[in-house]
Amino acid sequence: MRAGRFVIELILLILLAGTAPAIASDSPLIAVASGMQFAIREIAAAFRQDTEIEVRITLGASGKLFRQIENNAPFEMFISADDALVRKLEAARRTLGPGVAIARGNLAIFAAHGSPLKPDPMLQGLASALADNQLSKFAIANPVHAPYGQRAREALQSAGLWPLIKDRLVIGENVAQAAQFAISGAAQGGIVAHSLLVTDKTRDQGEYALLPEAWHQPILHSMVLLENSDATTMTFFQYLKSPRAQQILSRYGYAPAF
């Protein structure tokens, strides 16, 4: 299966290469799940340094970006936090070739300094804070269209805490907003993307703990070229599989896709 995909990507690269000189100065417009915002910006900066090509990035919840693509938004590439959304676009023939999984994300529970919540991997601190009525606001991304919100709900259900916490939730439009609620103290804690919590600034503002991956469905980040992709976009697509890009993803807490 991987060999077949490689052949398809190689053919696409060859077909698109003929137009590269005419569009070399273009800036591809890439739709990216918001949980990857810090990593993708660093990768885009490295890409610009290596190729002198600027990449424009639009961040949002994967589900909302997916619907914008369905409605013909002018994105040339999509990086989703939910592999299933990429597969849906493939099935609808809205892509140029197959998608590629590039990383696996993780959930983490975060609490700012001064919060009554003490983060731990098994959510015992959260259970205690709920039992003692010390927690009134807890942030997650919207489970309707944000994969990290869906997985946060699954983790809370696995821990048996969903019935106790669902009425105290502060819902972020996407996982980046949910993280901001928790980091700023607008909520007393939250379950968000690990990748948003590993910057120096975030580490100084609170504590976090990774949650067991067995508590939720995998968070598989996949990328795919969209219908109006060109050779410049293909260059960035290939760059995301490079050792330099993968090293950046690893520093932001992402695990290999497989």
Q: What percent of the chain has pLDDT over 70?
A: 90
Nearest-5° Cα angle at 224, 258 to 173:
90
In whole angstroms, what is the distance from residue 122 CA to residue 194 CA? 16
What is the fold, at CATH topology level, of the domain defined by 107-210? D-Maltodextrin-Binding Protein; domain 2 (3.40.190)
In this predicted model, which residue has the larger pLDDT, 1 or 121? 121
Residue carrying the six token digits 């580490």: 203
Question: What are the sequence ranges of the domains in the chain?
Answer: 2-104+218-251, 107-210
Same fold? 2-104+218-251, 107-210: yes
Inform me whether the pLDDT recorded for 14 exceeds 90. Answer: no
What is the fold, at CATH topology level, of the domain defined by 2-104+218-251? D-Maltodextrin-Binding Protein; domain 2 (3.40.190)
**Overall average pLDDT of the 96-124 stretch:** 97
Assign residue 4 a region: left if phi > 0, alpha if psi is -120 to 50, beta otherwise? Answer: alpha
Both structure tokens of 235: 């260059």
pLDDT tens string 219-240 = 999 999 999 999 999 999 999 9
Instruction: Give strand ranges (E) for the chain.
Output: 29-33, 56-60, 77-80, 100-105, 107-112, 138-141, 169-172, 190-193, 206-210, 219-225
Instruction: Give strand ranges (E) for 100-229.
Output: 100-105, 107-112, 138-141, 169-172, 190-193, 206-210, 219-225
Inform me whether the pLDDT recorded for 249 exceeds 80. Answer: yes
Task: Write the CB contacts of 37 (distance below 8 Å, at least 6 apart in sequence).
Answer: 57, 59, 176, 196
Q: How many CA atoms lie within 13 A of 240 on its CB side?
A: 28
* Predicted local confidence at residue 202, as pLDDT: 84
Least confident of 126-140, 198-212, 223-237: 198-212
